[in-house]
Amino acid sequence: MENHQAGMSTLVKGLHHVTLCPGAAQEDIDFFTGVMGQRLVKQTVLMDGSIPVYHFYYGNAAAEVGSIATTFPYSRRRGRVGSGQVSAISYAVPIGTLRFWSGHFDRAGVDHSGILERFGGRYIRVRHPAGLLLEVVEDAGDTRHPWTTGAISADVATRGFFAAVLSVRDVCEQETFLTEALGFRKIGVDGPYHRLEIPGSGRARVIDLLHEPDRAGGSWGFGAGTVHHLALNVETDEALLRQKAIYEELGFTDASELKDRYYFHSLYVRSPGGVLIECTSNVPGGFYQDESFEELGTKLHLPPWYEDQREAIVAMLEPVVVPDAGRPSGGATRIVRPPDPPALSPVVFSRTKPRFTGR
Ligand SMILES: [Fe+2]
């Protein structure tokens, strides 16, 4: 009997990445690297549609699964913030570091909440210049590899994701989806927050549902100031196929085809609360297919099947400057790249190849 028939999927290991739509590209790079202290680990382009849009990946020093925020700088259009969206992404930071982060956010001149608490954990919520909300949450014993900058040392830096916060008008259906289709379990309620987690001992396993019954729905498409989707790690192509079967077994017939995103493979489904949920499998080489550990994020890479249109694509993108803080130094280069996943199974993945002709 398949696990899902007992409502116990065990395919999902935790968060893989979260994808946001900021506005201007340079403003986004400056915020994620300078304010949040992330490493820019990849510059590429959005692989849907025919208008070139950057796709930036930010992560910890080792560019680990579960630490990656990706952004589509989408200044062409504003999104509408509301329920049915990821409302915040949370980074784990060491216990006792929120005083640093509060002062750091003040010095950077960004809006933040001051110290708050939910489920007994202290956190600060901070606003990206495009309006997106991020959090730093104190969490003990997180040994993932922090990226460091001149202003953010290893003893305070973010480790990777702790959680994602989803705003929903109704908790019940979203909770049922997360537990039955994806293997989360409910672990508590604190005011309007309902916490679910993937069982296990790894990091980045938490989703908090924020119950906002009176909040109007947010936009689902690309639009500055909104989170587009969150992605969960199922690790292998075989698991991705099994996840698609689970969705279909439960009646989620609108699960997408399996897509080749070059750095990983993807499957999308619109969840009952409105949030677009992706599952991903890792591919051999991952982020290291087109650049070395030291070079990660330092120049624009296109998927190979876009290369013949590089000139047209680059001409339509705004120039950006990657800060020196994006280059590895000190202890960071001692980090070993993650092991490759098993060889590909004989699965057909779809690729988009539009013609880029202009805005
Ligand atoms: Fe994604």
Strand spans (E) along the chain: 14-21, 39-45, 54-59, 68-71, 85-93, 112-118, 121-127, 133-138, 160-168, 185-190, 193-197, 206-211, 226-235, 259-260, 264-270, 276-282
Parallel/antiparallel/unpaired status of strands 121-127 and 276-282:
unpaired
Sheet containing 14-21: order of strands: 39-45, 54-59, 68-71, 14-21, 226-235, 276-282, 264-270, 259-260
CA angle 272, 276, 278 (to 5 degrees): 120
What pLDDT, on the 0 to 100 scale, is given for residue 36?
98
pLDDT of amino acid 48 = 82
CA–centroid distance, 252 to ligand 1, in Å, is: 19
pLDDT tens-digit profile of 312-335?
888 889 999 987 665 655 444 455
What's residue 336's pLDDT?
57
Residue 356 has pLDDT above 70, yes or no: yes
**Distance of CA 357 from the midpoint of ligand 1 (Å):** 24
CA separation for the pair 303, 310 (Å, rounded): 10
330 alpha carbon – ligand 1 mean position (Å) = 31
Distance 8 CA to ligand 1 centre (A): 24
pLDDT digits (tens, 9 = 90+) for 149-207: 999 999 999 999 999 999 999 999 999 999 999 999 999 999 999 999 999 989 999 99
Which token pair is 105?
């956010």
Distance 106 CA to ligand 1 centre (A): 31
pLDDT at 67: 98
Write out the H or E segment, with its range, that includes residue 46: none
**Token representation of residue 196:** 């679910």
Q: Residue 338: its pLDDT value, please?
A: 63
Among 2-6, 7-11, 126-130, 343-347, name the one with the lowest average pLDDT: 2-6
CB 280 within 8 A of CB 262: no
Its pTM stands at 0.92
Query: What span, in angstroms and rounded, lies between the C-alpha atoms of 108 and 311?
Result: 36
Q: How far is the CA of 39 from the centre of ligand 1 (A)?
A: 18
Largest CA distance in the chain: 56
Range from 195-204, 225-234, 263-272, 303-312 carrying the lowest mean pLDDT? 303-312
Distance between CA atoms of 238 and 349, rounded to whole angstroms? 12
Strand 160-168 versus strand 133-138 pairing type? unpaired
Q: pLDDT above 70 covers what percent of the chain?
A: 90
Give SS3 for 1.
coil
Cα distances from 218 to residues 78, 103, 225, 269, 334, in angstroms, run 11, 32, 11, 17, 43
Distance CA 29, CA 139 (A): 26
The CA 104 to ligand 1 mean position distance, Å, reads: 29
The amino acid that residue 281 corresponds to is: S
The rounded Å distance from CA 229 to ligand 1 centre is 7
Residue type, 163: A
Q: Write out the residues surrounding ion ligand 1, Cβ under 5 A.
A: 19, 231, 278
Burial 236-250 (b: 16+ CB within 10 A, else e): bbebbbbbbebbeeb
Determine the Cα–Cα distance for residues 132 and 146; give it in Å rounded to an integer.
22
What is the pLDDT, as a whole number, of residue 8?
54
- CA–centroid distance, residue 228 to ligand 1 (Å): 8
Centre of ligand 1 to C-alpha 278, Å, is 6
pLDDT confidence band for 346 (50 / 70 / 90): low
In the reported structure, the alpha carbon of residue 47 is separated from the centroid of ligand 1 by a whole-number distance in angstroms of 10
**CA pair distance 299, 21, nearest whole angstrom:** 20
